[in-house]
Amino acid sequence: MPLVKPPVEARCASAKFQACSPSCDAIVVTNNSDAPVDVNLKFNGPGFSEEDESGFNFLGECDGPTGERRSYSKPDSCNHLLSGKNCIVRINFCPDRSGTSRGRLKVVTTASGKPQATTFDLIADALYSPELQAADEARRRHLGELKKIPHVADVVIDPKDHDIFIDVEVDEDGSLDKVRRAVSPKIEGYEVEVTRYIERSVGL
Which residues, given as ranges, of the chain have pLDDT below 50?
1, 4, 6, 54-76, 201-204
Indicate the number of domains in the chain.
Answer: 2
Using alpha carbons, list the distances in angstroms from residue 89 to 25, 143, 172, 185: 9, 32, 35, 44
Report yes or no on whether pTM surpasses 0.75: no
pLDDT of residue 191: 96
Asked if residue 18 and residue 114 are part of one domain, the reply reads yes
Asked if residue 74 and residue 38 are part of one domain, the reply reads yes
CATH number of the domain that residue 147 is part of? 3.30.70
Asked if residue 173 and residue 116 are part of one domain, the reply reads no
User: Can you give the residue range of the structural domain that contains 46?
Assistant: 3-127
Find the helix or strand (DSSP H, E) in which 156 lies: strand 152-160
Q: Is 60 exposed, middle or buried (0-12, 13-18, 19+ CB in 10 A)?
A: middle
Asked if residue 118 and residue 62 are part of one domain, the reply reads yes
pLDDT of residue 75: 36
CATH number of the domain that residue 35 is part of? 2.60.40.10
End of a domain among 108, 127, 146? 127
Task: Return d(Cα 186, Cα 132) in angstroms, integer.
Answer: 16
End of a domain among 75, 109, 127? 127
Asked if residue 33 and residue 121 are part of one domain, the reply reads yes
Helix (H, G, I), strand (E, B) or coil at 109: strand
